[in-house]
Structure 1
Amino acid sequence: MRDIAFLIFPGFQILDLTGPLAAFELAKGVGVPDPYRCFVVSQSGGPVRSSSGLEVTASKIRSKPYDTLTVVGADLLSRPYDLPDISDHLARAAAKGTRRVASVCTGAFFLAEAGLLDGRRATTHWKQTAQLQRQFPKVKVEPNRIFVKEGGIWTSAGVTAGIDQALAMIEEDLGSAVSHEVARLLVVYHRRPGGQSQFSAMADMEPATDRMREVLTYMREHLHEQLSTEHLAAIACLSPRQFGRAFLMETGETPAKAVERLRVEVARQRVERSAEPIELIAHSVGFRDPERMRRAFIRVTGHPPQSVRRLSHQKGVDDPLAIAQ
């Protein structure tokens, strides 16, 4: 039996806890009897209030290693003082033999503060990827991933991505049949692979500087045109190399990936909401041909445009979960 613990603190996001916790709970009795024993822990134990106001009673985190210790996310901008203390617990857990140390959403900031992500690939919610990269430059932030596994360190994107990560852990422990059955019990459409891009509202992103905000606005307004890095760098009055570094630091994306994601997000809305031909949509948002758009859709959403259209029509009828995060 493996001990699975979730580390919470005041202001934590309730779904970051309950989603993956439910996945491990439902694995009990599916294939292997009682494979997991689940704990909710905090620094001192007792009632812990979530950001929604719901209180969860936690046990005090123990010194004996857990099999898996996952720290959940929260609005860290309002609680930066929590980082050092909680990160100390994570660093000690990793040093004492905890097999997997993981995070959901902004819980990645705690792992980074503990030094567990130095030199490693990691992800977090799309809104915080740029901040994670700025605050912890030794981390190799991958903003487009649902979850990232590097050895015994796991990080996942926002909210429901914690379920995908938990299902991947269950598959690692108990096999794909058990993982798929748990997904079915959760009424999850399917387990998204870690490499699938998390859906991000790139169109709503606001970089830190006016220079990059102007570039992003230009991208949005000229998607149908060729948007090379050199052209965008000229708009920012920077060399292509300087622009590429600055844009990545402020948005968590390379300029080319940002253009692709913007095009997919705009095209996706039209694919879902209209009966326009796919070829017409592709050309109108700047893709040279439908095949390029198809490949971009698969990278960003995990589905080709035709599947996105079909599943959007099924939503609310016979599909239990929309394909977007």
Structure 2
Amino acid sequence: MQRVAFVVFPGFQIMSLAAMSVFEFANLEAPVPRYDVTVVSERGGAVADSAGLRVETKPFGRTAFDTVIVCGGVGAPPPLPRVVAYLRRAVRRSRRVVSICTGAFLLGEAGLLDGRRATTHWLLARELASRFPSIRLDDDRIYTIDGPIWTSAGMSAGLDVALALVEADHGAALARTVARKFVLYHRRAGGQSQFSALLDLEAKSDRIQTALVYARRNLKRALSVDELAAAANLSARQFSRAFRSETGQSPAKAVERLRVEAARLMLDETRHPVDVVARETGFADRERMRRAFVRAFGQPPQALRRHARETG
């Protein structure tokens, strides 16, 4: 059985501990329990999170853990010398040290990110890079793996990195089963963007949001303005005016963003040829997809796929 420690500190964010449920369900779904999970802190006892909820913990000790996971806080954690000292010891005794969200700052303080690739929540990524300039920052990844050090983005990414840990330990089938228990469509790939096009477009009305969701579910279709307007129950003229007013973009540009996002995910998570990816995500051909990728990322699809495989 693999021992896993979650490291908390006063003011940690409780959502970091949601990742514990991944190991709980892995134990329930496996033929025999796979993980023994403990929450630890500097002195043990009850530790209050950022909202005042108190969590019982065990004190740091000499117990060796297979995996040590550092929780994040609402912002960058304050200096915590004993936590930093514990992490410096842990990296010598553990197979993996993992951070969720701003827990990466504590790994940085401990010197565990020196010369390594790392990520954190996009809002604080530049601060992380400024405080620890030797880090090779991947500021738009869900999670990053560099040797024994795993770092993840915002709090919800803790579920993704925990599922990735389970997959690395016990295979994709168990990770998929656990993901289904959480009603997750899939485990997001580490290289997937921290941003969602649907969220970033910020539709303000239900009708425009309905049209965007319809588009996301039907990317293989041509998706004319008339079709999207019908999904929103508006005339084409009303729809185009309302869409641009709410999102600041034309329907065609927004649909391209949705297609690019879906295509990048397929490139990261499958081995489908670029022609197949282009067809499945509604691009007329690979050349149109290439041009859309260059506009969005400054690189063609093949270059992004190669980078994801080299760094994932």
Query: Which residue number in structure 2 is paired with residue 272 of structure 1?
Result: 209
Match of 1:93 among 82, 86, 90: 90
> How far did 1:91 drift?
1.1
Distance 2:254 2:52 in 1: 49
SS state at 2:183 partner:
coil
- CA RMSD in angstroms comes to 3.3
Aligned partner letter, 2:201? V
Contact 1:264 1:296 in 2 (8 A): no
Query: Which residue number in structure 2 is paired with residue 294 of structure 1?
Result: 259
Residues 1:271 and 1:119: Cα distance change in structure 2 (over 3 Å): farther
Distance 1:292 1:57 in 2: 45
Question: Normalising by the residue count of structure 2, what TM-score does the alignment of the two structures yield?
Answer: 0.68
Distance 1:264 1:183 in 2: 22
Contact 1:267 1:285 in 2 (8 A): no
- Consecutive unaligned residues in structure 1, runs of 5 or more: 201-260, 308-325
> How far did 1:140 drift?
1.0
1:12 and 2:12 aligned: yes
Residues 1:21 and 1:156: Cα distance change in structure 2 (over 3 Å): same
> How far did 1:199 drift?
1.9
1:170 and 2:169 aligned: no
Question: Normalising by the residue count of structure 1, what TM-score does the alignment of the two structures yield?
Answer: 0.65
> 1:293-314: CA deviations, max 9, x gaps?
622564489999x98xxxxxxx
Q: Report how many aligned residue pairs link the two structures.
A: 241
Query: Which residue number in structure 1 is paired with residue 78 of structure 2?
Result: 80
Distance 2:124 2:137 in 1: 10
Aligned partner letter, 2:94? T
1:141 and 2:137 aligned: yes
> How far did 1:64 drift?
2.9
Aligned partner letter, 2:59? K
Contact 1:105 1:156 in 2 (8 A): yes
Residues 1:105 and 1:288: Cα distance change in structure 2 (over 3 Å): closer
Distance 1:267 1:49 in 2: 34
Higher RCO by CA contacts (8 Å cutoff, separation 6 or greater) = 1
Percent identity, aligned pairs only, is 41
Distance 2:8 2:250 in 1: 43
